[in-house]
Amino acid sequence: MKKTYIPKLDDLLGGGVKEGASIMFSASPGVDYEAFGYQMLNGRLEEGSAGFIFTNVGEPESIIYEFRSYGWDIESRIENGNVFFVDGSSPFLGMPSDQRYTVNDYSEIKDVVLRAIDDIPGGVGVINNLSVIIDYLGNGETLEIVEAWNRRASELEVNLVYLFTEWDYEQELIDRIRETMDCVVDLRTIEERVIIGQGFMVANSAWSEPPSTMVLFFVVQPGGVKVYVPKILVTGPYNSGKSSFVRAIATKSVSVDRKALSAFPTTIAMDIGHLEYKGFMADIFGTPGQERFDMILDVLSREAVGAFILVDSTAPETFARAKEMIRKTRAEAIPKVVVANKQDLPGALSPEEIREKMKLGAEVPIVPASVTEGWGIMEALDTLLGLLYGG
């Protein structure tokens, strides 16, 4: 199996793609999709594989610039011959091309790409863009060419990665194209009157039975494709360690604090953070723990998709308040992890004792942690991401 290097996609496919398999990223118009093919190619180049990019959507220089914007070094690999372009763009723009292969006329495209496939046994080739080929050649010829490419690629264990925009083609054509692929990943917009997000889902795979899970994503520069978790809530009683927890897991965070007279600072409105971890991006919202701020819990908890419930393991008298905050933030309806904080202090109850006292079912994970000592935090994050997306 070969990795796609797309966060979460390898898990959905059972470890990646089979050697020699074809994969198509099939995107609705307007979806950011080119990074999927380029990220897969970049990961494989870093492994030491060979590859090529067929382009009919922009000249090679613009694609090199795009790789640079993602923080990926393709130039040195072009120089050492690990990757090359099949340039199907420059001649049509009236520009000279010095690439290894150039398509001057679409009647040449089948044989030129077959030669490129022959050059990279065990490698990966990106076809960007299949829909432009259809626009030039029409339905029947395109299907015949794609089938020929896939046969040769399969013989040489080359993974072909097709980027396809689903313009208003005949449904029969789209269905036949999808049938020629070993794997199809749909890229879709998520809309509510306006586009509010993008997601991918494996539509079919010849070697696995992926779940019908829609994974939200962003394409960021630098970085490429990142799985996006819209909102994670951090709640719990006063002094359970919520603000410290948010600061510990967030790449960037800010707290709205007030220092009372001769007392410790306490969060009076919210903690806001943003994290990037193992290809995931998420926005974190921490609630205040004091009852007088309960009126804002409903606002803070809206659209949350997962929650951490912080409890002070040494203060069982606060557990009832913790359960009340689960109810007030509607966290009982979303995946949640109880973080049993302050496990380093004398008298801390074990996770099993906390589960018994809070009367929580076995489906709610309780992760022991000490936020001040910095352990148990990433385990809690891994547990919640596992609940959200499996794995």
CA distance readout (Å), 93 to 112, 164, 249: 19, 21, 49
Neighbours of 351 (CB within 10 A): 19
Q: For residue 258, is pLDDT > 60?
A: no
Q: What phi-psi label fits residue 262: left (phi over 0), alpha (psi between -120 and 50 degrees) or beta?
A: left
Q: Looking at residue 235, what is its pLDDT?
A: 93
* Cα–Cα distance, 185 to 24 (Å, whole number): 6
The pLDDT of 366-372, averaged and rounded, is 97
Q: Looking at residue 264, what is its pLDDT?
A: 57
Rounded to the nearest integer, the mean pLDDT of the chain is 91
Q: For residue 192, is pLDDT > 70?
A: no
What does pTM read for this prediction? 0.84
* pLDDT band (50, 70, 90) for residue 254: confident
The pLDDT of 137-155, averaged and rounded, is 94
Rounded to an integer, what is the distance from CA 240 to the centroid of its chain? 31
Q: Dump pLDDT digits (tens) for 95-138.
A: 999 999 999 999 999 999 999 999 999 999 999 999 999 999 98
* pLDDT band (50, 70, 90) for residue 194: low
Q: For residue 257, is pLDDT > 70?
A: no
Q: For residue 268, is pLDDT > 90?
A: no
Q: Looking at residue 265, what is its pLDDT?
A: 58
To 5 degrees, how large is the angle CA 128–CA 130–CA 131? 115
Q: For residue 269, is pLDDT > 70?
A: no
Say if CB 239 and CB 223 are below 8 A apart: no
Q: Looking at residue 279, what is its pLDDT?
A: 87
* Cα–Cα distance, 293 to 312 (Å, whole number): 19
